[in-house]
């Protein structure tokens, strides 16, 4: 049986087989069925020689500066190679205002030099690591459409999810506030729910943009409790990960579309792949590429951005992938050879597992073993899902670029968090290691922002609230930094970034402090500290808190002071941080059966 090299002819031939939806509609995208040139990797393949793979842990795993889509050999046929803009290597000073692209200065909507406010499009993936974009240094993955977005905009290399798990990360985005104010530190909401969060933080971002005169819409995964909580959009179309009740499935826009348009697939309970004991096993999507939730979300978004009423629009497209299950559709499930994937990067298991969340999560998802073969196999499927979503994003970018106001459309691409994928002897997220907490972060605004730029400043998801409201002409930063000011050279960079996870005042609370090249991970469980110098040790293999106690103490004191200022006193014990005797956590399993048919599993119910 032939191997499918994503740079070679085998995959291209495979994509032309009659079983693939694209062949039935050869003029449309393999991923979504949309017309356009830019996204169909399955149509054209990805030509060029596969670069030699480096040994795991050899050299730096940081993304390399200065590469664009135009630098890579053979992006897909039909993909327009973007002009390479002025590039700056990570660590150089911010661009001065006169380095911006030509055009009138950014100003409020009342300024005669800015008569038209921009559209704003947020594109978010779920659980996508920072090191998964080809143009930014990962030669093993094909992402031609994210490559072109990076080439026409600005890349932030040090972007973080300050609470790296689905629900709290999304609340930092929609509220512009950190967990110390939202009160959401894990996959739940506090007593009082949304009304309580709004009282502390103010209206959610969609509401704030509506108040500024924008037409607002959102499509995809929102991950709220309850699942259908209103978030202030004019139009909100859900596609959640799985269905806890028949009523939820009936109310889910994507599941309803399947039932209405593709009843032949409506019998499938888990439309996005099996969870529970199959969560961290390689799978194949039960649906063809043009019927998946990513394909549906893309088509819905394209329709919504075209449904103009004269107002500028603010849209959010929230893809569920590459979050597990690792189930890309054909042919993306065979796009990458596991034997060509790198081994996980692991240090001392005892050090990695000081954070008890890692072994606890491994057991939770039935994946206690982190052997290299399993990790490589899952990474191959993970990359397949990323390339598939990249194809969907290509259709979305094509739709924007066909508009007359494409140059005045802000596009932000980011993820809610990453995935360890075997690194540090672990899976999943909820860790402050780079693979979990650091995310891709791209911003494009052709009429206003320089192309081809690489930035090293510390940014986070909370900053996106201020970016959107600033672009709308009425800035409201809340707890974020001024991204637009940073991009135009009018605002200083953030010096220190904090992250939090777990309920304050319990042994499950942990925090991160990132400053310069240093990162401190602090654990209430045992009071353990891990200090890493990311400049010399980007893989976080050798903690240096014993060799550099002054730096560890200084960052710990900054964390305690920040929590004191934020009023999170349950984390404090006098002048320092509250700690607990170290304990291992009781183990449990994840039981996320699809319950939309009223059937449970493992003999229960």
Q: How many other CB atoms are found less than 10 A from the CB of residue 183? A: 22
What is the rounded CA–CA span in Å between residue 176 and residue 209? Answer: 13
Give me the chain's average pLDDT, please.
Answer: 83
What is the rounded CA–CA span in Å between residue 76 and residue 42? Answer: 9
Q: How many other CB atoms are found less than 10 A from the CB of residue 173? A: 26
439: region left, alpha or beta (phi > 0 left; psi from -120 to 50 alpha):
beta
Which of 442, 322, 277, 341 lies closest to 56, judged by CA?
341
Angstrom CA distances, 444 to 85, 267, 462, 469, stand at: 12, 41, 18, 16
Q: How many other CB atoms are found less than 10 A from the CB of residue 198? A: 16
**Number of Cα atoms under 13 Å in the Cβ half of residue 367:** 28
pLDDT at 72: 34
Cα-Cα-Cα-Cα dihedral sign, residues 229, 231, 237, 238: negative
What is the rounded CA–CA span in Å between residue 104 and residue 114? Answer: 7
What is the rounded CA–CA span in Å between residue 3 and residue 373? Answer: 17
pLDDT band of 9, cuts 50, 70, 90: very low
| DSSP 8-state secondary structure symbol assigned to residue 35 | B
What is the rounded CA–CA span in Å between residue 41 and residue 53? Answer: 22
| Lowest mean pLDDT, pick from 159-163, 188-192, 294-298 | 188-192
Q: How many other CB atoms are found less than 10 A from the CB of residue 372? A: 15
Does 16 have pLDDT greater than 80? no
pLDDT at 88: 39
Q: Are strands 572-573 and 576-577 parallel, antiparallel or unpaired?
A: antiparallel
Most confident of 51-55, 207-211, 253-257: 207-211
Phi/psi for 321 (5° steps) reads: -80, 165
Across 237-262, b (16+ Cβ under 10 Å) vs e yields: bbbbbbbeeeebbeebbbbbbbeeee
Residues in the chain: 605
pLDDT at 31: 63
pLDDT tens, residue by residue, 487-518: 999 999 999 999 999 999 999 999 999 999 99
What is the rounded CA–CA span in Å between residue 144 and residue 404? Answer: 23
pLDDT at 85: 36
Most confident of 41-50, 72-81, 182-191, 476-485: 476-485
Does 247 have pLDDT greater than 90? no
Angstrom CA distances, 136 to 154, 159, 263, 476, 536, stand at: 11, 14, 41, 31, 20
pLDDT at 190: 62
pLDDT tens, residue by residue, 331-353: 999 999 999 999 999 999 999 99
What's the token pair of residue 372? Answer: 């290299």
In the block, which residue shows the tokens 């609230």? 465
Which of 587, 309, 380, 293 lies closest to 301, judged by CA?
293
Average pLDDT in the 248-252 region?
Answer: 87
Which of 335, 443, 454, 437 lies closest to 389, judged by CA?
335
289: region left, alpha or beta (phi > 0 left; psi from -120 to 50 alpha):
alpha
What is the rounded CA–CA span in Å between residue 445 and residue 575? Answer: 46
Average pLDDT in the 589-596 region?
Answer: 80
Whether the link from the prior residue into 474 is cis, omega within 30° of 0, is no
pLDDT band of 574, cuts 50, 70, 90: confident
What's the token pair of residue 418? Answer: 């990453």
Residues facing 523 on adjacent strands: 510
pLDDT at 224: 82
What is the rounded CA–CA span in Å between residue 151 and residue 83? Answer: 7
- Percentage of the chain beyond pLDDT 90 is 69
pLDDT tens, residue by residue, 547-559: 999 999 999 999 9
Which of 482, 405, 484 lies closest to 118, judged by CA?
405
What is the rounded CA–CA span in Å between residue 384 and residue 141? Answer: 8
Does 476 have pLDDT greater than 70? yes
pLDDT at 312: 97
What is the rounded CA–CA span in Å between residue 362 and residue 421? Answer: 11
| Lowest mean pLDDT, pick from 113-122, 335-344, 345-354, 569-578 | 113-122
Which of 69, 166, 131 lies closest to 397, judged by CA?
69
Angstrom CA distances, 318 to 58, 240, 403, 563, stand at: 34, 10, 21, 31
What's this model's pTM, rounded to 2 decimal places? 0.84
What's the token pair of residue 368? Answer: 């206690």
Angstrom CA distances, 381 to 18, 184, 374, 386, stand at: 23, 31, 11, 9
| Lowest mean pLDDT, pick from 41-50, 279-288, 422-431 | 41-50
Walk me through the domains of the chain, giving residue ranges and CATH numbers. Answer: 116-496 (3.40.720.10), 503-584 (3.30.1120.10)
pLDDT at 66: 34
């Amino acid at each position: 049986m032939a191997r499918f090299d994503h740079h070679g002819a085998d995959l291209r031939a495979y994509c032309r087989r009659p079983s693939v939806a694209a062949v039935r509609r050869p003029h449309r995208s393999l991923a979504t069925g949309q017309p356009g040139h830019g996204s169909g990797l399955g149509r054209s393949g990805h030509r060029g020689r596969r670069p030699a793979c480096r040994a795991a842990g050899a050299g730096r795993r940081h993304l390399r500066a200065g590469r664009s889509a135009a630098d890579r050999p053979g992006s897909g046929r039909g993909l327009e190679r973007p002009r390479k803009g002025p590039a700056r290597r990570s660590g150089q000073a911010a661009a001065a205002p006169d380095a911006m692209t030509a055009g009138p200065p950014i100003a409020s909507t009342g300024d005669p030099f800015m008569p038209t406010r921009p559209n704003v499009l947020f594109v978010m993936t779920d659980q996508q690591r920072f090191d998964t974009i080809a143009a930014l240094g990962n030669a093993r993955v094909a992402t031609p459409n994210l490559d072109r977005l990076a080439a026409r905009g600005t890349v932030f290399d040090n972007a973080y999810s300050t609470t790296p798990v689905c629900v709290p990360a999304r609340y930092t985005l929609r509220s512009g506030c950190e967990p110390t104010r939202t009160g959401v530190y894990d996959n739940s909401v506090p007593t009082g729910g949304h009304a309580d969060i709004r009282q502390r933080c103010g209206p959610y971002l969609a509401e704030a943009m509506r108040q500024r005169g924008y037409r607002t819409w959102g499509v995809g995964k929102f991950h709220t409790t309850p699942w259908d909580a209103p978030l202030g959009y004019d139009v909100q179309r859900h596609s959640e990960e799985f269905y806890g009740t028949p009523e939820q499935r009936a109310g889910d826009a994507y599941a309803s579309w399947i039932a209405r348009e593709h009843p032949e697939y409506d019998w499938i309970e888990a439309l996005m792949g099996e969870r529970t004991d199959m969560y961290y096993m390689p799978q194949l999507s039960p649906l063809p590429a043009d019927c998946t939730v990513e394909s549906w979300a893309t088509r819905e978004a394209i329709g919504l951005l075209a449904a103009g009423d004269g107002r500028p629009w603010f849209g959010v497209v929230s893809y569920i992938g590459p979050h597990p299950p690792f189930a890309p559709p054909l042919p993306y499930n065979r796009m990458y050879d596991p034997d060509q994937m790198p081994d996980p990067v692991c240090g001392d298991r005892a050090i990695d597992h000081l954070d008890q969340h890692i072994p606890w999560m491994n057991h939770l998802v039935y994946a206690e073993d982190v052997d290299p073969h399993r990790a490589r196999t899952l990474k191959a499927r993970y990359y397949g899902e990323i390339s598939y979503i990249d194809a969907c994003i290509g259709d979305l970018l094509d739709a924007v670029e066909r508009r007359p106001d494409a140059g005045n459309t802000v596009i932000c691409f980011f993820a809610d968090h990453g995935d360890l994928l075997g690194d540090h002897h672990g899976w999943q997220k909820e860790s402050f290691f780079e693979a979990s907490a650091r995310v891709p972060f791209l911003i494009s605004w052709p009429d206003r922002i320089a192309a081809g730029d690489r930035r090293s400043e510390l940014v986070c998801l909370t900053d996106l609230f201020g970016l959107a409201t600033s672009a709308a002409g009425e800035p409201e930063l809340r707890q974020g930094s001024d991204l637009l000011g940073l991009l135009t050279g009018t605002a200083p960079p953030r010096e220190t970034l904090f992250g939090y996870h777990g309920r304050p005042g319990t042994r499950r609370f942990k925090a991160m402090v990132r400053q310069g090249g240093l990162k401190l991970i602090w654990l209430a469980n045992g009071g353990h500290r891990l200090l890493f110098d990311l400049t010399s040790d980007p893989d976080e293999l050798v903690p240096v808190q014993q060799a550099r106690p002054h730096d560890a103490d200084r960052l710990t004191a900054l964390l305690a002071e920040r929590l004191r200022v934020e009023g999170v006193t349950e984390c404090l014990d006098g002048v320092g941080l509250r700690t607990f005797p170290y304990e291992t956590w009781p183990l449990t399993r994840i039981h996320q059966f699809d319950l939309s048919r009223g059937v449970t599993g493992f003999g229960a119910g």
